[in-house]
Amino acid sequence: MTSLRNPRRWWQVPGRHASWPYLLLAGLVLGGLLGVVWPANPAAWSLASQAFPRPGGQVVLVDLDAASLADYGPLNSWSPELYRSAAEQLQQAGASAVGLDVVLDPARRETAPLVQALTHSGVVLAAPTPDSAAQPGYGFSAVNSSRLLQPYAFQTAYPTAQGKLVPSLAWRLAQAAGASVPLESQPRLLHRFVPSALDTRLSFRDVVAGRFPHGDVQGKVALIGQASPDPERLPGSELQARAAASLLAPPFLNFPGWAVGLMAALIAGLSVVLGRFWGLAQALLLPALMLLLWRAGVALPGVTLSLAALTGLLLVGAEALLVRRSARLHSSVNEQMLGTRAGLSQAVETLLAAAAPDAGRPCLFLVELEGYAALQQRFGVTLAEEAVDQSLQRLLSLAPVVPRLEGFGFRWDRGELVFIVDPVQSETEAREIADYFALTVSGVVLRGQSLLPRGGYAWVRKPEGLALDEVSAHSLVGAARQTLRPVVEPLPPQP
């Protein structure tokens, strides 16, 4: 007889499906890939910036407002000298850098000498295309497009048609103000500030005339441009002011892709290890943690990490489906191999109605699996039914030893198995068979928990003084319980 001992492995966890280590590995891999592919959440960070704007932007917008247009006429008819006058006033007021977010008409005769004079004095000029931004003193005036209502990202450099990186207007302004920012095509978040550039804007007309508080621009970047009358539709000038202010502000702590991948892998794995709905709890808490850390200057990719937690939750759901499937399979095995109480009652009635044989009588044997309740309480029904399955496989191997075993047996209570052997010659043989049943099952061990079987028996006969209809399977099982006794010696190991 082959031993079916199943010692507990180091990876086996009470109440978990046997496939959970593979699900854990899948969670680690999927979470890591998610973090590497999506290490930044600019849209979520933009909403966080809107909810918690940064204090004090370092850029002042000089607005080409309606009053200026009323004084100087349409914008395309303005003399370029007006821009030089405004730039000189701002520089004299102590502006750290001056930018002009207006595209000058190159067809006008006075434009070329004005551009030379402005760039010579350090004024940064806006370029309408990346190719035109390759000239010294120019910066490409643009921000990244967005599917949302408002843009939320920009770059310090944009590629030309030939693939060459040229600086943006915001990077030129930050560099002119003394900031050291790398020139790269990596998108950066467009921060919000309180007060905003629109809140502190100056009128272009007042700047040209010198009628403005010099303290408002001293030590700050001044950008000449046009603000929109509709605050919901922001033009490039206000966005360029925010982009330059974002480069001048202290940088947020950003995590590299490998660090985000590692965090996402650990969070997905933790969801699988904890099981149940802990993955959902993590998915709800991580965006809140992102907002909390945002106020501390840390850009946590909370949406990515939240999706990693949900990935772990999906794997936990897959494990639950596997557990249910295993439970259904165990139930199906028991139903196919064991008869029910009704089947046992019918078998007893048939044996009682038959004529008594000359040699031997049928005997009912009861095997009580005393460890079943402990397995069910500690590890669940699935593992307890697995112990029953292993017990059935062991008992099935008794066919050569007990050749008169009728059918395979019956299930009485959850932890009780009933068998009928016909015929049995004597009390001694009945006791030996009952002991052998118990000895056979005693070798089953799951999760370090051993079954403690006890064997008993009862003769299938009509006792003297008792009517035939009063003898039932229930009464015989009760009589067999009176003879139950534990294993008297260990089952010898078999090769």
Mean pLDDT of 374-387: 80
Does 414 reside within a domain?
yes
Is 277 found in the same domain as 186?
A: no
Is 454 found in the same domain as 315?
A: no
Does 85 reside within a domain?
yes
Mean pLDDT of 409-437: 88
Cis peptide leading into 250, omega within 30 of 0?
no
Strands 59-63 and 221-225: parallel
Is 236 found in the same domain as 199?
A: yes
Q: How confident is the model at residue 29 (pLDDT cuts 50, 70, 90)?
A: very high
Q: Domain containing 476: what range?
A: 338-486
Q: What's the CA gap between 309 and 278, in Å, rounded?
A: 9
Q: What is the DSSP string of 25-53?
A: HHHHHHHHHHHHH----HHHHHHHHHHSP
Q: How confident is the model at residue 329 (pLDDT cuts 50, 70, 90)?
A: low
Report the pLDDT value the prediction gives residue 4, as an integer from 0 to 100. 34
Is 245 found in the same domain as 156?
A: yes
Is 203 found in the same domain as 90?
A: yes
Cβ burial 200-216 (10 Å sphere, 16+ → b, else e): bbbbbbbbbeeebeeee
Does 14 reside within a domain?
no
**pLDDT at residue 196 tops 80:** no
Report the pLDDT value the prediction gives residue 330, as an integer from 0 to 100. 56
Percent of the chain residues past pLDDT 70, beyond the cut: 85
Report the pLDDT value the prediction gives residue 493, as an integer from 0 to 100. 44
Report the pLDDT value the prediction gives residue 2, as an integer from 0 to 100. 34
Is 209 found in the same domain as 227?
A: yes
Mean pLDDT of 468-481: 81
Report the pLDDT value the prediction gives residue 7, as an integer from 0 to 100. 43
Is 319 found in the same domain as 274?
A: yes
Does 151 reside within a domain?
yes
Does 5 reside within a domain?
no
Is 379 found in the same domain as 281?
A: no
Report the pLDDT value the prediction gives residue 89, as an integer from 0 to 100. 94
Q: For residue 247, how many C-alpha atoms fall within 13 Å in the half-sphere facing its CB?
A: 31
- Domain boundary among the residues 239, 254, 269 is at 254
**CATH number of the domain residue 474 falls in:** 3.30.70.270
CB–CB of 263/256 below 8 Å?
A: no
Q: What's the CA gap between 330 and 337, in Å, rounded?
A: 11
Domain count, the chain: 3
- Domain boundary among the residues 279, 300, 328 is at 328
Is 411 found in the same domain as 467?
A: yes
| CA-based nearest residue to 412, from 335, 343, 333, 341 | 341
Burial class, 77, CB count within 10 angstroms (exposed 0-12 / middle 13-18 / buried 19+): exposed
Cβ burial 26-52 (10 Å sphere, 16+ → b, else e): bbbebbbbbbbebbbbbebbbbbbeee
Q: For residue 407, how many C-alpha atoms fall within 13 Å in the half-sphere facing its CB?
A: 17
- Domain boundary among the residues 275, 299, 328 is at 328
Is 421 found in the same domain as 354?
A: yes
Q: What's the CA gap between 66 and 80, in Å, rounded?
A: 18
Report the pLDDT value the prediction gives residue 12, as an integer from 0 to 100. 54
Is 97 found in the same domain as 202?
A: yes
* Residue type (1 letter), 179: A
Mean pLDDT of 288-309: 93
Report the pLDDT value the prediction gives residue 117, as an integer from 0 to 100. 85
Does 423 reside within a domain?
yes
Lookup result for tokens 């050749």:
403
Report the pLDDT value the prediction gives residue 327, as an integer from 0 to 100. 61
Is 231 found in the same domain as 137?
A: yes
Does 230 reside within a domain?
yes
Lookup result for tokens 């441009």:
225
Cis peptide leading into 213, omega within 30 of 0?
no
Does 265 reside within a domain?
yes
